[in-house]
Amino acid sequence: MVNLLENAIKYSDPGQTISVLLQSEKQLLRLVIKDQGPGIPPAQFETIFQRFSRDPMISAKVKGYGLGLAIAKKIANLHGAKLEPAHVVGRGAEFHFEIKII
């Protein structure tokens, strides 16, 4: 969750809103983090969780190594959770983290 929040902050311009929503449905807990940054094209959804994956247009403006999402996805998988991007119409990126609760 820290990596997702750090990315939302890093890719949003100062003063923009980052929303964090926590939902509980029966035996499922869902965390939704949405920013107002440049967003992620759906064509890149397959590669964003790979190590060192960076958009060349954005990487010149935002510091990093392209490891945060790969680490977040690995941690989610180790806990039996799902971490997926969601298509956002307009501007911004949105990630859904879902984990079963007992």
Distance CA 85, CA 45 (A): 7
10-residue averages of pLDDT along the chain (102 residues): 91 92 94 91 85 68 77 95 87 93 84
Would you say 55 and 10 are in contact if contact means Cβ atoms under 8 Å apart? no
Q: Where are the alpha helices (DSSP H) in 1-102?
A: 2-11, 56-59, 68-78
- Farthest-apart Cα atoms in the chain, separation: 44
Matching residue, tokens 């107002």: 36
Distance CA 1, CA 31 (A): 9
Please report, for the chain, the start and end positions of each structural domain, with discontinuous segments joined by +.
2-100
Domain 2-100 CATH superfamily? Histidine kinase-like ATPase, C-terminal domain (3.30.565.10)
pLDDT at 96: 96
Phi, psi of 28, rounded to the nearest 5 degrees:
-130, 135
